[in-house]
Every structure is written in structure tokens, then in C-alpha cells.
Structure 1
Amino acid sequence: MKKAFLLLLPLLMFSCGGEKFSITLTSPKEVVSVQLFENSESQLAYIMNFQGNPVLLESTLGLELREYGLLGKEMELLRVDSTRNTRPWNPLWGEDGIIIDDHKAYTFYFRSKKNDLLMNVHFKLFADGMGFKYEFPPQEGVDELIIDDEFSQFKLTGDHTAWWIPADYDSYEHLYKTTKVSEIDSSLVDSSLLAASTIMERHAVNTPLTMQTASGLHISIHEASLTNYSEMTLRVEDDKRTLTSSLVPSQLNGWKAKVNAPFSTPWRTVQVAEKAGGLIESKLIVNLNEPNKLENTDWIKPGKYIGIWWEMHLQTSSWDMASGKHGATTEKAKRYIDFAAKHGFDGVLVEGWNTGWERWIGFPDREGVFDFVTPYPDYNLEEVVAYGKQKGVEIIMHHETSAAPRTYEQQLDTAYALMQNLGIHAVKTGYVGPIIPEGEYHHGQWMVNHYRKVLSKAAQSEVMVFAHEPIKATGLRRTYPNMMAREGLRGSEFNSPWGGGNPPEHLTIVPFTRMLGGPIDYTPGLFKLNLNEYKEGAYVPTTLAHQLAEYVVVYSPVQMAPDLIEHYEGEAAFQFIKDVPTDWDASKVLAAEIGEYIVMARLGKNEFDWYLGGLTDENARELEVSLDFLQNGAQYEAQIYKDAADADFETNQAAYEIEKRIVTKKDKLTLKMARGGGVAVRFKAL
């Protein structure tokens, strides 16, 4: 059902005289309200409430345009339109089989009193938050616009607890910090392990920025549909309560963004939930993106894969051939294909297959190093692909650009034509290192447009993309469902000997921050957790049950079993990885406190089996959860993979037990998780 109507004139409360306007907007069920008005300094401003209580105090709106100056001050309101939309839609894949887009939309049409430039401001209000964006409609004499700054403010009601990473223009691969907003300080973070890092503002963060108020309300600020624009970071102003949008610049060109009218900025989003789990269950971000633009999607398929990857991080083999321990050989790829076929995996990723890895990182002259079509002599690409097809296993291509996107763009046609000819439908892309040309950053407009160009080329070639060192996820998976998953966080490779390990609390924060943007290629499922044989004292700081639970908690439609295949042989717990789906009909957060623990349940796509994953931080924990999400009148065999009594993320990571019992929706389940531990359950319908 879709309803549309014009906002009634008596509600507008503005006139053609010198009076200032003030308009109140409401969401469905009037849970969220926004007051848009002209403040005492003639600046556009807004206030946001949730259930009648303030979420954001007076916050200003505006953009700084090079030719036109500040737009957002001394604006004449011409008219207002409003529509009500209630529409279900079915994602091609995802956490839920059906999504309801229920919102009220408002468009404000403004004219600058200083220069007659037209600018529209759009608001969409949902029961769990809102989004707004700026639009420059078609107008005579206006074509190119240079945006030097954006002044979208979010003024908080207090000094909230925040989970944040710094406003790094080149990397999201930081551990999250937990501080008050007033204590946000990039000097607290360590970026020494990052291949590229550019932090220019000390008191600024990347988004999603998630916070909790003193009263327990949860708030997350992010953006949706990031298109042809620089990404938004948030600067903490001197009052320690006001967050102001700060766009990643192009030092090469001297602007934040350069666009052509007509043009709309990305949506600036504010999600609100009484419980932490409500942020994860929110569909606001994807609902602010356009529907699927791809006509034929038969080739887009969620699934699981293994690959020649982890051994490079263990340094038992290498991406390059000159080292004498090249990993991507024809023989090894076939062995991985055999393992995938035997255990029901859909694909095999092969990294280091193409020439050029001898000069891929740490060299200033990285352009032209890779060509994405020439394999090393010990890797027969055509033979490996053909062998995989015989076994029913897809090969996943790997394109590491070494952060030289101009080289990649020059070879897109050739590289993707090769994939089409071979029938390869998936690629993992990478952008390790500082961007070439110097002065551009991973998260600036130039690279945003590059990532989109690659995604479009991939769609034309019927290729799914797993992007590493990407631009952040902002819900575009709805519009381009071949955008399967992104890294864009401190991933599991940091659990290798060189990375020092991700602390147990990491994945009790990530679902409420990075995952709000979209699916994550985190690579869960490491089984050999004591890494002392690779580096003295090294270990993965989780239990094995925690690794299993990650498949349910950390969402991705394409999940990897990343460990060496010999580490899975003979392990009973490997059965859970083989069983767990990557596509779902329903997802629920059963219990959660950000930075402490999370328990999620998901219903497999087109099946009756539910799966549960629970993770805890460095503290052992016992939680009781209701099984009321199970189907009425049905019995299930609960196959429980849990920490052993003596399991511990520091001293006994691999200790686990498997328990089976019959349950129904009337039952409760007590989850005992060790320090850094977890629990994974398959509820098999009987």
C-alpha cells in the first residue's frame, strides 16, 4: 500500500513576510518527530525527538559552495510536499526474507535570498529514526557545483557513552574505543599495523557512530546511499556535545566534492532504539537506498567458500613467487577444490595467482604492477577453473590493486572479460596501501566513484564483489545486490601472528557499529587457535565456540572458512560450519549489551531450522534466553556447540563440547560462555 498527500497548509506556519517558519514532522505512529525551523540567526535548523523525549537539540543544516557561499542561511521556503509510504519488499538475499519500508517523506523547497539558488531538503521519518539529504534540482545557469564543506549538525543531549573509531581517511581497520563523547581523541588509537592511515582531525570519528545515553537510549549516526560524494565523518566541536559533518577532502583537487546539478547528497541518518538489539534489527539504512537496478540476478548466489589465504598470514607461504614459497599453485588449488566438493562449499578463493606480487606494497611505483590476467608459471588458471567446474566448485578471482586504481580501471574490461569467458562469478578486490595518485584517499569522492565503477563493471560481467579496503557500507547492496560483502573493519587477519589478535570484546561492538552499514567479510571460523608454532606466544584470542558463533552474529551472505583445510579435518565442530546458512528469512537479537555480549537467532532461508550464536567479551558469562522464536507446535533437536568447563581465550582456546537435546518454543536455554567464549546452536526441526 502506498499513500501520498500534500502537507496541509495550516501546518506550515510560515508566511511571505519576514516571519520565520517552524514545521513539525512526524513518523508513522508519531514515534519520531522532527521540528524544522529557521533559527534566530536565519539558519536552517532542526530538533529530533523519540517518543516525546529529545534525541538531538537544535542542530543546523547547510553546505558551503565555492561559487555561492553558505547555503542554508537566509533561505526562502517556497513549499512543502509530504507523502506516506508503507511498502513491503523482498531482498534478493539478506538477514530477513521480507522488509517493510514504512515512513513519512517530506520535501522542503528553498530558494536562497542571496543568490536565488534553489535547494531542496528531504526528510524521511521512520519509527526507529530518520534520514535527511540535500538536493540541487535542475535550474537555469547551474551546472557544476564545488562543495567545500558541509555543516550538518547533530547536537547531543548529553555526554553519551560512544563506541568509535577515528576519522581515518584511508582505513577503518581500527579497534573500537569506548569513551564518553567528550573523550574522543584519535591520539588514543594505534595505527602502526595499518598499510595506510591518514588521520587529520584529532577529535573526529568515522560512522556509524553508536552511542548510549545515560537513560539507556541507543543512537547511531551514519549515512545511506553514498554516491558520487565524499564520505561523511563527524567532528566533535568544542562544546563536546555537537557533532558536525566533516567530508573527506581531495588534497589533489582542493575540494570535498565536485558535482553536476541535478544532484542529491547521501542521506544523513540517525537510528534510535530503546535496546541495543533494535539498532541491528532496524532496516532504515537499506530502506533509504533505491530498489534493485539489476535486471538479471540469477548469477547472484550467497554461499560459503574456502581459500588459499590464511597460510600467507601465517607466513608458511607467500603471495609472490620470488620468495620461493608461492602458495597459489595449480596442485594446491585442486586440493582445495577437492576439499570444498567433499564438504559442500560453493567456492575456492585463490590469492597470489597473478604476477606482480614482488612489488605490490611498500613501493611508490605500484602503478602497472598487476595486470589481472597473467598467472604465475606454476598456476594454470584455465585448468583450475575447469577442474572446479567438474567438481561443482566455483573459483573466486582475486584482484589486489595495490591501491593503484588508475591501473585497475585501465584493465577492467580485460580483467572482467577473462572472468566472463571462464564463467567466474565472484571477485575479491583489494586496495592495500596509500592511494595513487597522492592526495586522494580511500574514502574521498574520487575513490567512491572508482568503487562504483568497479561494481557496475562487475554487474555487467555477472560478477559478485567482495571488497576489501573498501568505502564503507551504506546500504547500496539493495540497489546493486552483487555488492555482497565488504571488509571495512579490523578483520580476522589481525588474529594472525603479525596482527596480535582482536580482543574478545571486538565482535561484541562490531554488530552495533560497522555491521549497521551492511554485510561484513570478516572470515570467521579459525580452528587452530594456538599459533605458537608460527610465532612464539601467538594465539587467536577467542575460544573455538566463539569462532563458530561468529557465523551467526557477524552477518555476511558469503562466509569463508579461512583456516588451513588440514585444521578442519577430524574436528566434530566443523559440522556447524558446514550446516550454517548464509542467507536468512528472519533475524532476531535475543540479548545484548554493547561491548559485553550479544546473542542472535536466525532462520535459514526457505527452511525450518534456526541457528543461534552468542559471543561474550573477556568476561565469562551465563545468560538465559527464551526459545519463543521457534515455531508453534514443533520440536527441534538443539545441537549445541559450547565452551568446555575449562575453556578460556588465553589458556585453553580449543576446548569445546557438543550437546544435543530436544526443545520447543516453550523452553529456555542457559548459555554458559567462557572468557572470550561463545556458543553456537543449530535447532534442527524434527
Structure 2
Amino acid sequence: MKKIAVILVVVLNLFNGYAQKLKSPNGAFEMDFSLSKSGEPTYALYLKGKEVIKPSKLGFYIKDDKKSLVNDFELINEARGAHNEMWNPVWGEESAIKNHYNELAVTLKQKETNRKLIVRFRLFDEGLGFRYEFPEQKELIYFIIKEERTEFAMTGDHTALWIPGDYDTQEYDYTESKLSEIRSLFKSALTSNASQTQFSETGVQTSLMMKSADGLYINLHEAALINYSLMNLDLDDKNMVFKSHLTPDARGDKGHMQAPFTSPWRTIIASYDARDILASRMTLNLNDPCKLEDTSWIKPVKYVGVWWEMITGKSSWAYTDDVPSVQLGITDYAKTKPNGKHGATTKHVKELIDFAALHGFDGVLVEGWNQGWEDWFGHEKDYVFDFVSPYPDFNVVEIENYAKSKGVKMIMHHETSGSTRNYERHLDKAFRFMNDHGYDAAKTGYVGNILPLGEHHYSQSIINHYQFVIEKAADYKIMINAHEAVRPTGIYRTYPNMIGNESARGTEFQAFGGSKANHTTILPFTRLIGGPMDYTPGVFEMDIAKLNPDNNSHVNATIANQLALYVTMYSPLQMAADLPENYNRFLDAFQFIKDVPVDWSTTKYLEAEPGYYLTIARKDKNSNNWFVGNTNGYNKRSATISLDFLEKGKKYEATIYADAKDADYKTNPQAYVISNQKVTNKTKLKMTSAAGGGYAISIVEVK
């Protein structure tokens, strides 16, 4: 018996003294997990034998607890597995997705407290995902997270495309710099927003895109963010180590937990080819499969709306300028004078419905239709909208019937002004109102500071609010397009009625002074890693003063660039954002927006360099037609692209929408040329993109 005991001790010591290794299915990646002498859990990641992530610490600091979960661990169990499947998304960039990984789950026990913690690693051919799991145990039931201790130790002073770490907004332009330069550039990277809270001059947000000196592209993000706080990253710029920084609640706590529970996945995607970062579906694969039994009502949408004219200041959300403040149920709009600038009128909306029907658009979004816009922002009002009371000049039933007669769907707008509890108290009534009047999609908004006061857009309870809205909407068969909400982390796999998000600096900022000309060459590598963006492209009139003389902003893009965004900025929800009269001036270019699909069977990434250029080809889910989009950064560029993705033996007609020779996003943004030519899979096209420009190609099979 004594001999057996000795053998067990030796085995256990070996078990804790060496790294547990995990390889990706193709063998290119290797992950090591180990415990230090003091019982600190660490991991490291390698690609083809070279370090991607140096040994980095794991664990949690627990509030009001003398013994946090950061050391004194022993390894008591490991479980390994492999998974390989194909699954079909309801909508997406391809009709089938491969989910292939090897898995290692290590069970740790803290010696002094006997608390257990599982760290689960999944290694894919494109990178690593890992999460924390707290099993049911009497030693740890309820606890408050002071901070998550997850590290990403860099191997050098990489070049990064980053935006400031913030608890309330992601609506920043990206800065390109060395990691060591973030601190000195942080203040210059800040721009004003309706609600923002930074936490550190070395704090940045995920999805973070980096490139090492030897050409390795590295992306850090998270997946399946549910019942948890959003993770920012804080850089220790002396040691080049990113540390997790969770968004606090009103009391400064980072998470109120009850075991059993699991954290979101922390993700690392890496490749020496930037196209592999875009092609990765790891974020999606780390989310649970679809939980909705019936998804037949979820449909991709191409739409127009009363939005851009409001953003530019041509028209207004508010009905009247007569009232100093509004109290719903007390303010009598029938006794007020219309301001003459209100955009959401019955007459004007009918005009948009006619335009949508004429050009084959699925829907019309109307903002400013409901009472309360006169003093909705900046006052931190609790009861600001009720989401069912229209203005006197917006006839809900008349518009409903007119849209139905034209075969057009109306899209509802629900701005909460940050008052999450007010939205929740009205949610069932608002969704029933939508069902009653034929609306099956809603754009939600969270502009301004969050109520309850002191909470942040990305704290745990507000993350739970967004999830509550998604799940409640599914009960009413309603699709959600959330603006100013948390960035996506692949949850649309589980709840595909989450058909769109903003959660980044969208087209509206082109009317607020402009965005950087290379902005849309970065977003697919950052914001879109977690899911599609309602970027609202398609602006043809770049001089905003022509819509509103008091606004001298300029859209920093060419028309060809704006067309390309329908391919490069993937979304099943795409808006033709500009005014009908501007499209009527350029009907030949507008044809591409009419033709381009919003759901795809296949996607090919032809060339990519984040911040500089991006070319993507996609195949329509419902035909053999292909569409190509290229967006370009600050430097005029020429390249040859191969059409070898086309089916062999078939002939196609390509319509090419390109920048004219003298096109430039600043000086000549509306200069474009359209040409046609016969192509096959052997064709190579030499294309030139202007500064801030690009091109779009529709490739139609000739039968």
C-alpha cells in the first residue's frame, strides 16, 4: 500500500511540473499550459515553432477576498477532445462553416481553499480560444470579480491599429502606431462622443489588430460575451504585456457571479497572411449553435430611410420647436406648431416607400416618428419615449397599408436615449405594436449616458439588457439592429435575429467632420471580426453643405469606394443611406447597389493589408453571380486580380465600377467610370484605386 502511495505522489508531481501541450488540427499552432512554482496558471502560443504569445498569466482577483484565484493552484485533471463539423448559418458570408479544433480542459484546485477552476482551451487552425469555467462547488458560490487576470504577452513592439479603451463607446477613428507609442498618442486619438469613459492612457479595445516586425498578423478579441462585462486591454508598455480590463458597474465591480458559470472566450487569431484573419470563423464557432427552433422569419434586408437627411441636418427628428420640454401623456402635440423640418411625415415616408418599391429594396427605416424627440438627449431622462405614440403628422395605419400595397416592409426605430429600464418596461407593448402594424425589424439606439445612472454601456447588467432585448424580440419574431450597444462577439450564431450592429464609427461621422480615408480598410480586421456592422454606406454626395449649408463636413470616400463597401463591409442588413435625389443623379452607379445581394454562399479574400487595401469576392447565395469590392487607403494603388474563383467552363459578363483616372476622395470623389467585358476563370483584371477610392464589380453568368 505504501508503494502505491509513493507512485501516486510521483505521478502527481510530474503532472504539475510539466506543460500540458495542445496542437491545432493541422499542427501549425501549439499551445502550452503550465503552473509556476507558486501555482500560477500560465499559457503560451506558438505558430510553426515561433512564439505568438509569450508565457502569460491567467486567473481572477476577487473582491473582499484575501485569497484571489491567481496562484496556489494544483492540476487535478485534464480532459482532451477533438471536434470537426460543418454547420449552416441562417445567413452569412458563406452557406457552410467548418468548425474544427482540438481541446484541452485543465481542472485546477486551489490548495488552501479547495476552490476549483477549469480553463478550457480550443486550438483551431487559425488560432486559440480559451475561457474560464467555474463548476458547482460549495467552496465558491457567489463572488464579485475585482478584475480578471488574463494576459497577452507580446513578443515585441508590434504595429497596432487601435482605438482608445472606453466603457461607453467604440466610435473612434483608428490610430496606427507601435505599441510603445500608444501612451504618447492616446490623447490625440480621442474624439468627442455622446458618452465616453476612458480608463487608462495605454488602454485599447478589442478586436485589436497587430502586425509584428517579421510580418505576423495577430488579432485579440473575445467571443460569446453573455452575462459578463466587456473586456478592454490595458498595456504594460514596459514589458509589452496586455492585461484584461473589464468594464465596471456603478459600484466599480467588474462582475457579480454565481457558480456554475463560464466566462466569454478570449481569442487569438494569427497568420502571416492577413487574408486568413478575415477568413477566420473562430469567433462564430466559439458561440453556441442556434437556439431558435424556427428561423424562417429571419430575412436579410436591403433598405432606405429617413436617416441621412437627419444626420446631415437637412431635416429633424423633432416635430416642433414650440415646447421647452416634453412629458409624454402631458404634452399635447396637437396644440403645437410643426417646425417644418420634421422628416418622418406621412407624405415623405410614402415617397421613400415609392422609391424602395421602384428600385427593389426590401424595407424603409423611419426615425423620428414617435413623440419625445424635442428633449430626448443630454438630460438623462428616465421616461423619454414610449415607443408606440406617433407624432400628429405620422399616420401609422396609413403608412402600414401603403407599404403593404407596394410590397415594402417598414423598419421600426427604438431610440432609448440610454434609458435601459424604460425600454424594458415598454418592451412587450412596443413589440406587440410592431406585430400589429407589420414591422418585423427594429433599429435600437443607446445614445447618451446609460440609465440607471453610473452604469456603463458595456458593464455586466447592461450587457444583460442587450441580450434580454434580443431574446425578447425573438419571442415576437422581430429582428434587431442595435446601435451604440456592445460590439458583437459572434452571438448572432446563437440568436440569428440579431441581424446587425453599429458599435463602431459608422457613416454618420462623415457628417460630423469626416472619418479617415482608410477607415473602411481597417474595420473588417477589427470591428467585423465579431459580426456584421450596419455601416450605412452608399453616400454619393460628398459635400454635406449641399444638403445643409450650415454643415461643411466632407465624406472622405469616392463613389466607387462607397459601392465597394456593400461587398467589403459584410452585413445581412445594408442601407442605401443617401437621399433618393442623389441616387437619381447617378443612376448608372446606383445600379450596383440595386444588384448587390446581402446574403452569400461563398467568400474569397483576394488581397488584404489592414489600413491600406482590401479586395473581397463573394458569390450570391441565390445565383451563380459574383460581386467584388475593393476599398483603398490614402495612396493611389494598382493591382492585378485573378478571377480564378469563377467556375471553370462558364462565361460571365463583368460590369466594373471604378475610380476615374483623376478621382480622389478629397478633390474629385464623384469621378467614376463604368465598363463591361466578358470574363472567365482565366481572366486577370488590372485595377487602379484612387486615394480613398476603390472599385466594385458585378459578375453575372452568361447562359
What's the TM-score, normalizing by structure 2?
0.94
Letter in 2 for 1:148: K
- After superposition, the C-alpha distances for 1:30-76 in whole angstroms (9 at most, x for unaligned) are 11111100124321111110111110111010111235532131112
* 2: CA distance, partners of 1:221 / 1:206: 9
Find out whether 1:658 has 2:677 as its counterpart: no
Corresponding residue for residue 3 of structure 1: none
Alignment match, 1:131: 129
The whole-number CA distance in structure 1 between the counterparts of 2:505 and 2:454 is 24
- More moved, 254-263 vs 286-295: 254-263
Alignment of 1:69-218 (within 5 A): 69-140=67-138, 142-185=140-183, 187-218=186-217
Matches within 5 A, 1:216-295: 216-250=215-249, 252-295=250-293
Task: Provide the C-alpha distance between the structure 2 equivalents of 1:402 and 1:257, rounded to a whole number of angstroms.
Answer: 24
- Using the TM superposition, give the Cα deviation of residue 142 of structure 1 relative to its aligned residue in structure 2, in angstroms: 3.7
Q: Deviations over 1:82-105 (max 9, x none)?
A: 111110000010001110000011
Partner of 1:46, secondary structure, is strand
In 2: Cα distance, 1:23 partner to 1:572 partner: 60
1:583 aligns with 2:581: no
- Write the letter of the residue equivalent to 1:521: D
Match of 2:568 in 1: 553
Closer/same/farther in 2, CA of residues 118 and 40 from structure 1, 3 Å limit = closer
Gaps of 5+ in 2: 1-6, 322-338
Match of residue 637 from structure 1? 653
Kept in 2: contact 1:14–1:20 (CA 8 A): no
Distance in 2 (alpha carbons) for counterparts of 1:471 and 1:13: 49
Alignment of 1:303-318 (within 5 A): 303-318=301-316
Name whichever of 126-135 and 189-198 sits farther off. 189-198
How far is 1:412 from its partner? Answer: 0.7
1:415 to 430, 444, 457: 430
What is the alpha-carbon distance in structure 2 between the residues aligned to residue 363 and residue 475 of structure 1?
A: 33
Q: Does the C-alpha gap of structure 1 residues 13 and 214 become closer, same or farther in structure 2, counting only changes over 3 Å?
A: farther
- 2:334: which partner in 1? none
- CA–CA separation in structure 2 for the residues paired with 1:240 and 1:540: 40
Paired with 1:280 and 1:238, the residues of 2 have a C-alpha distance of 28
**Partner of 1:618 in structure 2?**
634
Contact 2:62 2:68 in 1 (8 A): yes
Q: Which amino acid aligns with 1:29?
A: N
User: Is 303-312 or 72-81 further displaced after alignment?
Assistant: 72-81
Residues 1:18 and 1:558: Cα distance change in structure 2 (over 3 Å): closer
1:316-465 alignment, distance < 5 Å: 316-323=314-321, 324=339, 325-364=341-380, 366-465=381-480
Note closer, same or farther for the CA distance 1:628–1:445 as it changes in structure 2 (3 Å cut): same
Give 1:19 deviation, angstroms: 5.3
Question: 1:15-40: CA deviations, max 9, x gaps?
Answer: 15895342111110211111100124
TM superposition shift of 1:190: 4.9
- 4+ residue stretches of structure 1 with deviation over 6 A? none
Does the Cα contact within 8 Å between 1:122 and 1:135 map onto a contact in 2? yes
Q: Which residue of 1 aligns with 2:325?
A: none
Q: What CA distance in whole angstroms lies between the structure 2 residues aligned with 1:532 and 1:409?
A: 39
In structure 2, C-alpha distance between the alignment counterparts of 1:389 and 1:286, rounded to whole Å:
35
Aligned equivalent of 1:539: 554
What is the rounded CA distance, in whole Å, between the counterparts of 2:129 and 2:155 in structure 1? 19
Deviations 1:363-393 (CA, angstroms, capped at 9, x unpaired): 13x1101000000011011221221111111
SS in 2 for 1:70: coil
2:318 counterpart letter in structure 1: D
Paired residue secondary structure (2:369)? coil
2: distance between equivalents of 1:434 and 1:254?
16
Alpha-carbon deviation of 1:231?
0.5
Q: Deviations over 1:618-671 (max 9, x none)?
A: 211111111111111111111000111221111111111110000111111111
| 8 Å contact from structure 2 (residues 114, 139) kept in 1 | no
- Partner-residue secondary structure (3-state), 1:71: coil
In the alignment, the residues of structure 2 paired with residue 427 and residue 630 of structure 1 have an alpha-carbon distance, to the nearest angstrom, of 37
Letter in 1 for 2:664: D
Where structure 1 has 5 or more consecutive residues not aligned to the other structure, the ranges are 1-9
Contact 1:641–1:681 (Cα < 8 Å) also in 2: yes
Distance 1:401 1:189, change over 3 A: farther
Secondary structure of residue in 2 paired with 1:398: strand
Residue in 1 aligned with 2:539? 526
Amino acid in the other structure paired with 1:474: T
Alpha-carbon contact 1:237-1:243 (below 8 Å) kept: yes
Alignment of 1:561-600 (within 5 A): 561-570=576-585, 571-600=587-616
**CA positional deviation for 1:530:** 2.3
- The corresponding residue for 2:330 is none
Residue 253 of structure 1 and its aligned partner are, at CA, apart by 2.7
Seen in structure 2, the aligned counterparts of structure 1 residues 667 and 192 have a Cα distance that, compared at 3 Å, is closer
CA distance in 2, matches of 1:24, 1:369: 55
1:596-611 equivalences under 5 Å are 596-611=612-627
Look up the SS of the partner of 1:259 in the other structure.
Answer: strand
In the superposition, relative to structure 1, how do residues 94 and 470 fare at CA in structure 2: closer, same or farther (>3 Å)?
Answer: same
Q: 2:63 aligns with which of 52, 61, 66?
A: 66
Q: Which residue of 2 aligns with 1:6?
A: none
Residues matched between the structures, number:
672
Determine the C-alpha separation between the residues in 2 that align with 1:84 and 1:383: 57
Matched, 1:477 2:492: yes
- Distance in 1 separating the partners of 2:152 and 2:107: 22
Contact 1:13 1:21 in 2 (8 A): no
Question: Aligned letter for 2:348?
Answer: K
Aligned-partner residue type, residue 381 of structure 1: V
Structure 2 SS opposite 1:411: helix
Say if 2:503 is the partner of 1:504: no
> 1:489 & 1:393 partners in 2: Cα distance?
29
Judge conservation of contact 1:191–1:197 (CA < 8 Å) in 2: no
- Counterpart Cα distance in 2 of 1:216 and 1:142: 44
Structure 2: distance between partners of 1:17 and 1:599: 51
Cα distance between partner residues in 1 of 2:458 and 2:359: 39
**2:99 alignment partner, SS class:** strand
1: CA distance, partners of 2:578 / 2:476:
30
Contact 1:59–1:153 (CA<8 Å) still a contact in 2? yes
Q: For residues 220 and 405 of structure 1, do their structure 2 counterparts lie closer, same or farther at Cα, with a shift above 3 Å needed? A: same
Cα RMSD over matched residues?
1.6
Q: Is the 8 A contact 2:557 2:665 kept in 1?
A: yes
Question: Aligned AA for 1:221?
Answer: L
Q: Secondary structure at the match of 2:493?
A: coil
Specify the alignment match of 1:4 in structure 2: none
Q: Matches of 2:379 and 2:189 in 1, distance apart?
A: 23
Summarize deviations over 1:494-514 as a string: whole Å, max 9, x none. 111xx1111211111111111
Specify the alignment match of 1:682 in structure 2. 698
Q: Does the Cα contact within 8 Å between 1:164 and 1:210 map onto a contact in 2?
A: yes
Structure 2 vs 1, CA of residues 178 and 509 (structure 1 numbering), >3 Å: closer, same or farther?
same
Asked if the contact 1:506/1:595 (under 8 Å) is kept, the reply is yes
Deviation at 1:589, TM superposition (A): 1.2
Letter in 1 for 2:537: P
Task: Give me the whole-angstrom Cα distance separating, in 2, the residues matched to 1:163 and 1:72.
Answer: 31
Equivalent residues of 1:15, 1:21 under 8 A apart: no
Residue type of the alignment partner of 2:204? V
| Partner Cα distance (2:355, 2:568) in 1 | 26
Which string of whole-angstrom CA distances, capped at 9 and with x for unpartnered residues, describes residues 167-196 of structure 1?
A: 111000000010111111363345443111
